[in-house]
């Protein structure tokens, strides 16, 4: 197990945080998919949506984008830090390890010098993140998926339900 990230450690020490769980789901990859977010501890409010042809990673990202759009104003108005909890290492590692900084510096190319996947979602997500004062930027924490954690199970169910049939 690696050392906890600074953001995760900072978030765990915040007593009064607005915690939002996110998840994406996809039936086939690519295929129809859904995304969802829900505020802990009881899942209210929540939001979800879907796309007829997408990938799981795109739905994980859309869940975060929509969670931030909906909940940043609430977090800011109540002076609470927003903590995004995701079972996607793709999302959490991007922020924990600052992948986005290298991508931007390299013209939105990854370490293999290939175009960053899903940059049409990553770019506005990172722009939104960077538009916030540093002390108001959300923290990102990882949760093991399908492990019985109630809020993670809830957003998984919401994302599956939002998947177009």
- Nearest CA to 9 out of 161, 139, 151 is that of 139
For residue 145, indicate whether it is catalytic: no
Catalytic residue among 23, 51, 66, 139: 23
Q: What is d(CA 52, CA 163) in angstroms, rounded to the nearest whole number?
A: 8
CB contact at 8 A, 18 and 81: yes
For residue 15, what pLDDT is reported? 64
The model's confidence at residue 12, banded by pLDDT at 50, 70 and 90, is: very low
Across the chain, what does the average pLDDT equal? 91
> What is the pLDDT averaged over residues 133-149?
94
For residue 46, indicate whether it is catalytic: no
For residue 120, indicate whether it is catalytic: no
> pLDDT over 70 for what percent of the chain?
91
pTM of the model: 0.90
For residue 79, what pLDDT is reported? 87
- Identify which has the larger pLDDT, 8 or 33: 33
For residue 50, indicate whether it is catalytic: no
The single-letter DSSP state of residue 135 is G
What are the residue ranges of helices labelled H in 1-149? 6-12, 56-77, 89-96, 99-105, 119-131
Q: What's the CATH number for 17-162?
A: 3.30.420.10
Do you know the residue count of the chain? 165
Catalytic residue among 16, 24, 51, 136: 24
For residue 127, indicate whether it is catalytic: no
The model's confidence at residue 16, banded by pLDDT at 50, 70 and 90, is: confident
């Amino acid at each position: 197990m690696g050392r906890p990230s600074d953001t995760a450690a900072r978030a765990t020490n915040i007593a009064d945080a607005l915690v939002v769980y996110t998840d994406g789901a996809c039936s086939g990859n690519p295929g129809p998919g859904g995304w969802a977010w829900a505020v802990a501890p009881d899942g209210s409010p929540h939001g979800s949506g879907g796309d007829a042809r997408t990938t799981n990673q795109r739905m994980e990202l859309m869940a975060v984008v929509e969670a931030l759009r909906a909940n940043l104003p609430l977090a800011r108005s109540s002076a609470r830090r927003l903590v995004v909890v995701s079972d996607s290492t793709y999302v959490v590692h991007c922020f924990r390890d600052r992948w986005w900084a290298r991508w931007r510096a390299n013209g939105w190319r990854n370490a293999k010098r290939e175009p960053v996947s899903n940059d049409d979602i990553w770019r506005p997500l990172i722009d939104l993140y960077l538009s916030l004062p540093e002390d108001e930027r959300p923290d990102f924490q990882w949760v093991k998926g399908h492990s019985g954690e109630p809020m993670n199970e809830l957003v998984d169910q919401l994302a599956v339900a939002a998947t177009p049939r």
